Each structure stands twice: as structure tokens, then as C-alpha cells.
Chain A
Amino acid sequence: MATVELDKVNKVYENGYHAIHDLDISIADQEFLVLVGPSGCGKSTALRMIAGLETISTGTMKIGDRIVNDVEPKDRDIAMVFQNYALYPHMSVYDNIGFALKLSKVPKDEIDTRVRKAASTLELDTYLDRKPGQLSGGQRQRVAMGRAIVRQPAAFLMDEPLSNLDAKLRVQMRAEIAALQRELAVTTVYVTHDQIEAMTMGDRVAVLKDGYLQQVDTPQNLYDRPDNVFVAAFIGSPSMNLYEASLRVSEAGGQISLGGQTIALSPSSLDARPALRGYDGKTVILGVRPEDFEDAELATDIPESQFLDSAPTLLEALGSEVMVHFKLDAPVVDSGDPDAVEDTNAEANAVGRFNPRTRVRVGQAMKVGVTSENLHFFDADTREAIWQ
């Protein structure tokens, strides 16, 4: 049980590559913190620095009350779960789980008790005599987890532990790991590139990009109030729609012109974002979550002044909702996520999450209602969110 604190931590490799810039995170005791970001953002490097597998170039790292910059991995009282399990292939499951205890000279009968307890927690009881080669992917992942929990460490470090599992198993293990972490109440740092894992598992989520920390907050806050364009687009699937738009603000409310069309901004929405008043006549980045687009015929609570004209180019019916791809005549803003998938349907630059009862048809004109209370605005130059 311990806190983990990173204070202005930097990582510069010998070849001059600056992987981590001034990373400040403090992780509370028993907290589940997820480090998330696109590939190459430095999240794994950050985790490996906490583990002691990478040296810290500058800054201080504390686990508990102790500065661990120069402490060997084995003396940091942490346990790590690797992306590809990294099991000891020639040892049985029992020996894999008990290896760390054996090395730290724990008495044999205590090793036995703790290994069996960890195994029963992970439902591995019947596999203790098997070698890793005789286990399925999910079971190997459990063994890797077992190796971590048996040590009762101050912190768990997990490096994309689910990315090698198939989709169904991943969902199951996701819930199991989250539940296990709450049960054991051990501080956990979890690295993933999957924002769904980040949202569902973390108490807080830290979003990284190019070695810079973008935002640390609870999953809901990240979703509702992203600090910048990158976080806004990275969190949420499908991504937030981002456009260049120009703004007119008066006492009576605001008007957003998006391409040739306009959306009215109610005074209450303006009051919620007082800083917007300073952007009268300026160009901003407008962000709309897919669920804030709705078929106007079904959205009775959206006034007509917030309707846009378009036509669907592609419908994806998912049963509980319909993803509607359509085109808005406005320039799209690139969020800077290198892993972002280009919309394969080049005709469309907007995605709406419509109610399944919608009657819109591909190619037929429709009206799209926009929930203006939930719009996101970002400064066109700094790309920071505009709120206060």
C-alpha cells in the first residue's frame, strides 16, 4: 500500500530522443490510475520508469515516502504484469507464482499458503502443475496476475496486460482485474492504448501524447470536460466531431456558423462558458460528440434554430443505436492522434449516434438536431478548451 509520485520526471534516451517531458502525476494509495495514449506517447516508458526497468533522466520518483530513482526494481516493492505475460516457460504454474517468494527466502509453508490463495483467487487451482505452454491465453494472463498478487506489493504495474487476448476474453478480464484491484486495494498503474479499458477500469485516467501529459481526471470528467482537442478526440468512440467554426456572441445568445449553416447557442450555454464571450467574431474549434447529433424528427426538445441540413452517406445499425455518417460543409480539424482511423467513407465528415427509430435513409435529405448545451469549444491557436 503506497502512493506513487512522479515529480517533473523526464526521460531522454542516449540517442537524444526525449520520450517523457516533465511528467507530474501523483497517484493516491489504493488508486487505479490508467495511463493511456496513442502508440509512441511514452506511456510504457513511464511505467517502466516506475518499475525501475528504465533509468530516470531528471526529476524524482517516489513510492510511498521513499525516493526510488536509484533503487533496483527488486527493491521497489512493486509487481509488474507484462503485455506478453513473460512467464517462466520451464516452471510449473505453481513455481511461476511462487518464484518471487522463493527468491526472497519466504518459508516454504508460507509460500505454499500464499501461492494457493492467489491461485484460488484467480481460479487457477487445478492448473498449478501445468507448464505455461499447456495453458490458454487467458489462463497465462491469470498466471501473470498471480505472480503479481502473491507478493502483496506496494503497487501493481500493468503494461497492456489484455492486448493479447481476444475481444470477448478481454471484456471479461477487464472486469475481473478491476474487481480484483478493488478487492486487494493495491495502488495500480495500468498502461493501455485502448480508451475503453481506460474509461472502464480507472479511478483516474492520465492521457499522454508525445511524452507530454495532457490531462489527468476521472473518466467522466475527461469525457465531459476535455482540456484540449487531443483529449476530446481521443476519449470516446466514435471520436468527437471537430470543425472550424466562427462565433458571433451577443447578449441574446450566440451563433455558430458551421460552413454555410448556423446553430444558435442559448444564453444558458453561453453562461456556462463565460470565456466564449471573448471570442466574438473569431474562429474556434467546435467539438460535437456523436450522441449530441440526433435526428431532428425524433429530438423534440431541440429547437429548430439548432438544426443542420445534411444527408446520410452511410448508416450503421447497431440495434441500440444507429451510427449515421453524413457530410457537413465545414473544415475538419485534425486532433493529432496518430492512431486515429480516417473515416473510410470519404464523403462524410460527421458521425451521429441516432435513436434506432430514426427514419433517415442514405442519400435522402435530413435535418440533424444539435444539443448545444453539450458542445465543446477550443481555441483555434492553443487548442485548449474554452470554459472560464
Chain B
Amino acid sequence: MSAVTPTAASGSTEPSSFSGPDDQGSGGAVDKVYGFLRRIPTGLLWLIVLVWLIPTLGLFINSFRDRTAQRESGWWTTTPDDLTFQNYQDIFNAQAGLGQSLLNTAAIAIPATIIPIAIAAFAAYGFAWIDFRGRKPLFIFTVSLLAIPLQVALIPLLQMFNNGASYTLPGLDKTIVLVPDFDLAGTTTAAWLTHTGFAMPFAIFLLHNYISSLPKDVFEAARIDGADHFTIFYRLVLPLSIPVLAAFAIFQFLWTWNDFLIVNTMIGANPDAQPTTILIANLAGDFGRNEFILPSAAFVQAFIPIVVFFALQRYFVRGLLAGSVKG
């Protein structure tokens, strides 16, 4: 990554890039062999990158080919003359409605990224730096929720969003309403809540690991300077946790953007809120008649997380703590 700011030269030495013997000045057979050997790992990495990129490249090229071309020959036989923008025009037209579905996905994915970060950052700070009774068991319990598979909770959650939740006391014939019926079925709110709930254990775990490793003395200095927990959180913890917040935001955005299972369960029945993943699944049509427009739709769908990744990766700044404490 090229995102290391020049101010962050905190003594963490960058491994010098693999280079041949030519910049060493002295020649000699040993140097040549050594230089060649040093190139092997880099070369291997490039090879892996290429192999991994081939399917994406195929998808990209196919997205510009018409139905017949896709059916009759492989993407590697394409010549520039065969390429057409017709597929892209088709998926964005009013009938297919990819544009609207992208907005729907954004309306799900962006809050479903921000809400868990906001909650988890507070929780992680609390677990890391506020001394309260039962802190450790509660933290272990929270993190152990990572083990709960998403699938087992989908139907109960859907029922709760549909009808609320209530419990009838045995023998007393009295019903207690645990969760009122907010009529959330088919709304994006249901998707936000579900995504938030399932992101929470991992988010708290990840942010806690980072936040608890911030130097204690800095917080003590802030306490003496007159800061309470909220001030410490906003003025110190948040600015110093930007790398981990960005990392989690990328994970969570990718997951919510590409999610099919949760949105299909929670809002699949509501065509107005339909996100791109569901749209694409339906785009192929009966018997796969419209299969040929899938590559272009998939490419559009995949493109946005890439933009988000590159936008956020500059926050992976090393050496953010440089100069705070010695050691």
C-alpha cells in the first residue's frame, strides 16, 4: 500500500522493494543469481494476481458482448469490433431498473455499515477502558456470539419483525409483549437491524482489540487534563482508531452490499425496496432467457465495493501513534 504518510516514519522500517542487482553497483555471478532468486517471490505474487484476475476479466469482456457472441464463443476470442454497450443500456433502462436497485442497496448497506460501527466503538471502548463489574464475562459472552450462525436466526427474526414477540406465562394465561409489532416486515429498517445485530460480535471484538492496545498513559493524562469518558472517546479514541474503523467499514460494507440471504428474507417481498443482489438473481428471467445481461449487471454491482475499498484504504495509516509514548 502506498498510503503511508510521510509523517508516519515511526521507525517502522519499510521492507525495501525487491530489486535486482543493478542498483547494487557491483556485479558478479553470485549477485546475479541472488538477484534472480530475490525476484521469485514477487514474480509468483504477480502470477497469482493474474490467475485470480482472469475470471473478472472474462466477466468484464463478456459484459460488452451481445447474446449470440456470449453463447457461441469464449470471451478470449473477442475482437474490439464485437464490443457493444447494449447490455449496459438494457440493464439501466426503466424495465430492468438497475439504477433504482443500486440506490436501494446503498440505502441498506450504508446505514448497515455506520450503525454497527457507532455502537461497537462505544461498546469496545467500554469493554477496554471502563472498569465495571462483570466486564470480562460480558465481553467473552458478546464475542462468543460469533459462533451463532446467521441462518438459524433468520426465521425467528422475520417473525419478530412481522408480529413482534410476546410470551404467554404458563398457567397464568397472561401474555407479556417483549417486542411490540413495529410492522418492520419488508422495510430496509429490518435489514439494518439484522445486519447490525450480526455484525456486532465481530465489530466489538475487532475494535476492542485495537482500542485496548492504545497506550494507557495517554488516557490517564487526558483524565488529569479534565476529560471524562465521552471526551476521551471523541477526542482520543475515535481519531486514533481510524485505521481499524476503516478496516471494519470495508468488511461490513462489502458484506452488506453483496448480501443476498438477509435482504431476500427481510425485504424480498417488497419490490419497491429491492436491492441489486435480488434484482440480478431475477434478471436472468425464466429459463435463463436474459442470462447474457448478467455479466454487465454483476460488473456494476461489483464495481462499487472496489471504489469504496480504494476510498477507505488511505486511512490504513501506520504510525498513527508515533510520538505519543516512548517504547
Contacts and interface: CB of A to CB of B under 8 A. Distances in A.
The answer to whether A and B come from one shared complex is yes
Contacts of B215: 84, 86
Contacts, number: 99
A78 B235 CA distance: 21
Interface stretch (A21-29, A99-107, A320-328, A356-364): A99-107
Contact of A90 (B231, B320, B326): B320
Nearest to A76: B224
Interface in A24-63: 51-53
Interface stretch (A128-136, A204-212, A366-374): A128-136
A134 B324 CA distance: 11
Given A74-B227, A104-B226, A133-B10, A80 B324 contact: no
B80 interface: no
B226 to A, nearest CB: 4
Contact of A84 (B222, B231, B326): B326
Given A131-B7, A133-B7, A133-B319, A86 B324 contact: yes
B16 to A, nearest CB: 22
B218 interface: yes
A134 B323 contact: yes
B218 to A, nearest CB: 5
Contact of A87 (B8, B220, B223, B324): B324
B323 A140 contact: yes
Contacts of A72: 223
B218 A132 contact: no
A147 B324 contact: no
Contact of B218 (A51, A87, A137): A87
B217 interface: yes
Interface residues of A, number: 32
B226 A85 contact: no
B323 A80 contact: no
Given A82-B220, A86-B217, A86-B218, A131 B226 contact: no
A132 B322 contact: yes
B45 interface: no
Nearest to A103: B226
B315 to A, nearest CB: 13
A217 to B, nearest CB: 29
B74 interface: no
Interface string A129-164: 001111101001000000100010000000000001
A140 B217 CA distance: 14
B321 interface: yes
Contact-residue bracket for chain B: 20 to 34
B221 A82 contact: yes
A30 B224 CA distance: 20
A103 B227 contact: yes
Contacts of A134: 7, 323
Contacts of A100: 224-226
A133 B221 contact: no
A320 B226 CA distance: 50
A51 B224 contact: yes
Interface string A203-244: 000000000000000000000000000000000000000000
Contacts of B222: 88, 99
B327 interface: yes
Interface of B: 7-8, 10, 215, 217-218, 220-228, 231, 235-236, 239-240, 319-327
Interface of A: 51-53, 72-74, 78-80, 82-90, 99-100, 103-104, 131-135, 137, 140, 147, 151, 164
24 contacts: A53-B220, A73-B223, A73-B224, A74-B225, A78-B224, A79-B224, A82-B221, A84-B215, A84-B326, A86-B217, A86-B220, A87-B324, A89-B240, A90-B240, A90-B320, A99-B222, A99-B225, A100-B224, A131-B322, A131-B323, A133-B10, A133-B322, A133-B323, A147-B225
